[in-house]
């Protein structure tokens, strides 16, 4: 039986302002309006004989990942948390070590959480073609049959034919320039490098031990310090931080003598840029891909995404226009690879729009920072039924809660009481407090903060059902 391992790390900065550090593209509905990219990745496993997926994601995305799995009815799926990003070779090692510790040695189907595959049947066919090779000890990578001379992908050159659809890997090559990419495609000898793999867990660990024992040692030390917290497996943060940052391509696949590539022609895209999303989107007669409240007049070949207000265009061609609550991107379609430079500029100038949206998701619900000024901040807070914020206090701010929908159970110092619609509660500076939704519908309230310092690090947690009580000061709201 296959063991899917879904890697859900990464920031997707080229899809800013929609994709952000705390809400990257794998957790967004991009190619599908109903499912996020992570959920779509899990969905296309349906029909394969495989175990429940094992998810690997960054610590700061843990509750978002758990919520999206819960929405699929997978509320008992185990999630391995990376305390920091160390690339794909260590991430896969953590999964293989976890399974080996449990006495298991399955075939690992390594998938990225942020790919789009249009033809699921063809995807399954390629996996079935790869299984006998992986069972024979080969390390299989899936090569995408190229449809154009792309410069944004790495390439794999096929070697000796091993079966109808499989070849020994001759070499991996980096992202080429346009002329080289054209030559690769014309030769018929090259695939795009998809970053998807199939191999037995023990074979991967053997190859890692031979070619990068430093990575394997660091991951084993990190796994020794593992702890279980709700659905999450936490590894030792210090040991994992000492692990080299390396991809599986560099660490293993370029060094092993057993690398095999199986062709995949299934409408694949990694949606690595806004132009890639325009390519795969449905378009009107003028070539415009639109979503949301959009009025396009005499505009052509443009992607327009309006999430919260009307966006109108007039006489524009070949643009990317993306509107969110706190940022708008306007870029030419042939410059979208440079969006990452805008994100770097946001970082260097000390702005926050690359980190999170106005709406920030938490294990208990979501809050939207709707206004702020000198010594005040206003948030719209939604608390899910049965959910509860941590028991906490603030040194520098007071809070005033006004319930607009539902019922709140408020603990304010040594008093606990209910607050219903059109009622409010005041939390003084330094007062220990918490908030709970005891009802069966979402609790919605307006929070007005006031004080000399309103930073999200002004919080001391005493109790938290989501395991967020830490020795160091917390850095997130509630």
Which of 310, 328, 348 terminates a domain? The answer is 348
Pairing verdict, β 319-323 and 303-314:
parallel
In sequence order, what are the residues at sequence separation of 6 or more whose Cβ sits closer than 8 angstroms to the Cβ of residue 124? Answer: 47, 48
Q: Which residue has the higher pLDDT, 401 or 229?
A: 401
Instruction: List the one residue out of 26, 4, 3 whose CA is nearest residue 13.
Output: 26
The token pair at 121 is 């049947």
Alpha carbons 305 and 366: distance in angstroms, whole number: 22
Q: What is the pLDDT of residue 431?
A: 97
Q: Is residue 156 part of a domain?
A: yes
Q: Is residue 113 part of a domain?
A: yes
Pairing verdict, β 107-112 and 116-117:
unpaired
Which of 316, 348, 380 terminates a domain? The answer is 348
- Do both 198 and 217 map to the same domain? yes
Q: Which phi and psi (to 5°) does residue 343 adopt?
A: -65, -40
Instruction: List the one residue out of 251, 315, 262, 274 whose CA is nearest residue 127.
Output: 262
- Do both 313 and 438 map to the same domain? no
Question: Whole domain around residue 292: which residue ranges?
Answer: 276-348
Q: Note the pLDDT tens digit of each residue in 420-433.
A: 999 999 999 999 99
pLDDT band of 226, cuts 50, 70, 90 = confident
In sequence order, what are the residues at sequence separation of 6 or more whose Cβ sits closer than 8 angstroms to the Cβ of residue 345? Answer: none
**CATH number of the CATH domain containing 395:** 2.60.120.10
pLDDT band of 360, cuts 50, 70, 90 = confident
pLDDT score of 33 more than 90: no
- Count how many residues are written for the chain: 478
pLDDT score of 475 more than 60: no
- Do both 208 and 87 map to the same domain? yes
- Do both 406 and 288 map to the same domain? no
- Do both 124 and 263 map to the same domain? yes
Residue 268 burial by Cβ neighbours in a 10 Å radius (0-12, 13-18, 19+): buried
**What average pLDDT does this structure show over 242-262?**
96
Alpha-carbon torsion (85, 86, 89, 93), positive or negative: negative
Q: Is residue 197 part of a domain?
A: yes
Q: What is the pLDDT of residue 359?
A: 87
Q: Note the pLDDT tens digit of each residue in 375-410.
A: 999 999 999 999 999 999 999 999 999 999 999 999
Q: Is residue 144 part of a domain?
A: yes
- Do both 69 and 86 map to the same domain? yes
Q: Note the pLDDT tens digit of each residue in 60-69.
A: 899 889 989 9
Residue 164 burial by Cβ neighbours in a 10 Å radius (0-12, 13-18, 19+): exposed
Q: What is the pLDDT of residue 468?
A: 76
- Do both 334 and 280 map to the same domain? yes
Other CB atoms within a 10 A radius of the CB of residue 466 amount to 18
The token pair at 188 is 């018929």
SS in 3 state form for the chain?
CEEEEEECCCCCHHHCCCCECCECHHHCCCCCCCCCHHHHHHHCCCCCCECCCEEEEEHHHHHHHHHHHHHCCCCCCCEEEECCCCCHHHHHHHHHHHHHHCCCCCEEEEEECCCEECCHHHHHHHHHHHHHHHHCCCEEEEEECCCCCCCCCCEEEEEEECCCCEEEEEEEECCCCHHHHHHHHHHCCEEEEEEEEEEEHHHHHHHHHHHCHHHHHHHHHHHHCCEEECCEEECCHHHHHCCCCCCHHHHHHCCCCCEEEEEECCCEECCCCHHHHHHHCCCCCCCCEEEEEEEEECCECCEEEEEEEEEEEECCECEEEEECCCCEEEEEHHHHHHHHHHHHHHHHCCCCCCCCCCEEEECCEEEEEEEEECCEEEEEEEECCCCECCEEECCCEEEEEEEEECCEEEEECCEEEEECCCCEEEECCCCCEEEECCCCCCEEEEEEEEECCCCCCCCEEEECCCCCCCCCCCCCCC
Work out how many domains the chain is built from and give that number. Answer: 3
Q: What is the pLDDT of residue 284?
A: 96
pLDDT score of 261 more than 90: yes
Give me the residues paired with residue 376 across strands.
373, 450
Give me the residues paired with residue 322 across strands.
305, 329
pLDDT score of 173 more than 90: yes
In sequence order, what are the residues at sequence separation of 6 or more whose Cβ sits closer than 8 angstroms to the Cβ of residue 79? Answer: 55, 56, 57, 62, 65, 66, 69, 231, 232, 233
- Do both 114 and 214 map to the same domain? yes
- Do both 87 and 156 map to the same domain? yes
Q: Which phi and psi (to 5°) does residue 76 adopt?
A: -120, 15
Other CB atoms within a 10 A radius of the CB of residue 422 amount to 8
- Do both 176 and 194 map to the same domain? yes
- Do both 191 and 325 map to the same domain? no
Q: Considering the chain, what is the average pLDDT of its residues?
A: 94
Q: Is residue 354 part of a domain?
A: no
Which of 251, 269, 287 terminates a domain? The answer is 269
In this structure, of 101-110, 202-211, 327-336, 362-371, the range with the lowest mean pLDDT score is: 362-371
**What average pLDDT does this structure show over 278-299?**
96
**What average pLDDT does this structure show over 322-337?**
95
pLDDT score of 473 more than 60: no
Lookup result for tokens 């939604």: 382
Q: Is residue 187 part of a domain?
A: yes
pLDDT band of 32, cuts 50, 70, 90 = confident
Q: Are 357 and 25 spatial neighbours (Cβ–Cβ below 8 Å)?
A: no
Q: What is the pLDDT of residue 470?
A: 54
Lookup result for tokens 């495989």: 50
pLDDT score of 476 more than 50: no
Q: What is the pLDDT of residue 108?
A: 98
**CATH number of the CATH domain containing 183:** 3.90.550.10
pLDDT score of 477 more than 70: no
**What average pLDDT does this structure show over 230-258?**
94
pLDDT score of 445 more than 60: yes
- Do both 139 and 99 map to the same domain? yes
pLDDT score of 472 more than 50: no
Q: Are 206 and 247 spatial neighbours (Cβ–Cβ below 8 Å)?
A: no
pLDDT band of 478, cuts 50, 70, 90 = low
pLDDT score of 471 more than 80: no
Q: State the greatest distance between any 2 C-alpha atoms of the chain, in Å, as a whole number.
A: 76
Q: Is residue 236 part of a domain?
A: yes
Q: What is the pLDDT of residue 12?
A: 82
Q: Is residue 470 part of a domain?
A: no
Q: Note the pLDDT tens digit of each residue in 76-90.
A: 888 999 999 999 999
Q: Are 432 and 392 spatial neighbours (Cβ–Cβ below 8 Å)?
A: yes
Q: What is the pLDDT of residue 10?
A: 82
């Amino acid at each position: 039986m296959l063991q899917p391992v879904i890697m859900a790390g990464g920031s997707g900065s080229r899809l800013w302002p929609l994709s952000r550090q705390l809400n990257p593209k794998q957790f967004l509905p991009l190619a599908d309006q109903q499912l996020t990219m992570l959920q779509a990745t899990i969905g296309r496993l349906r029909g394969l004989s495989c175990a429940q997926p094992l998810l690997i994601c960054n610590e700061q995305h843990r509750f978002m990942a758990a919520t999206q799995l819960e929405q699929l009815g997978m509320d008992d799926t185990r999630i391995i948390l990376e305390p920091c990003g160390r690339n794909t070779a260590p991430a896969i090692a953590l999964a293989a070590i976890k399974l080996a510790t449990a006495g298991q040695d399955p075939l690992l189907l390594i998938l990225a959480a942020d790919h789009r595959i249009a033809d699921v049947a063809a995807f399954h066919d390629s996996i079935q073609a790869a299984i006998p090779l992986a069972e024979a000890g080969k390390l299989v990578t899936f090569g995408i049959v190229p449809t154009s001379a792309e410069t944004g992908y790495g390439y794999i050159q096929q070697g000796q034919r091993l079966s109808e659809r499989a070849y020994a890997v001759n070499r991996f090559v980096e992202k080429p320039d346009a002329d080289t990419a054209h030559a690769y495609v014309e030769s018929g000898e090259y695939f795009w490098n998809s970053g998807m793999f199939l191999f037995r867990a023990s074979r991967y660990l053997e190859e890692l031990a031979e070619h990068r024992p430093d990575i394997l040692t660091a991951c084993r030390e990190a796994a020794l310090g593992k702890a279980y917290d709700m659905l999450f497996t936490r590894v030792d943060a210090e040991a994992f931080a000492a692990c080299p940052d390396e991809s599986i391509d560099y660490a293993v696949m370029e060094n092993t003598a057993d690398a095999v590539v199986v062709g995949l022609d299934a409408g694949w895209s990694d949606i690595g840029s806004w132009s890639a999303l325009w390519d795969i989107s449905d378009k009107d007669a003028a070539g415009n891909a639109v979503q949301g409240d959009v009025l396009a007049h005499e505009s052509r070949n443009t992607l327009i995404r309006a999430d919260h207000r009307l966006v109108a265009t007039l006489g524009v061609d070949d643009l990317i226009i993306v509107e969110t609550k706190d940022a708008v991107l306007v870029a030419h379609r042939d410059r979208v690879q440079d969006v990452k430079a805008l994100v770097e500029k946001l970082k260097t100038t000390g702005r926050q729009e690359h980190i999170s949206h106005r709406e920030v998701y938490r294990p208990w619900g979501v809050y939207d920072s709707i206004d702020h000024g000198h010594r005040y901040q206003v948030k719209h807070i939604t608390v899910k039924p049965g959910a509860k914020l941590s028991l906490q206090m603030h040194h520098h701010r007071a809070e005033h809660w006004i319930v607009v929908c539902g019922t709140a159970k408020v603990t304010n110092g040594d008093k606990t009481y209910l607050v219903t619609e059109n009622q409010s509660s005041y939390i003084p500076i330094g007062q220990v407090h918490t908030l709970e939704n005891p009802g069966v519908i979402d609790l919605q309230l307006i929070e007005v903060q006031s004080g000399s310092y309103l930073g999200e690090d002004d919080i001391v947690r005493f109790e938290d059902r989501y395991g967020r009580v830490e020795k160091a000061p917390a850095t997130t709201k509630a």
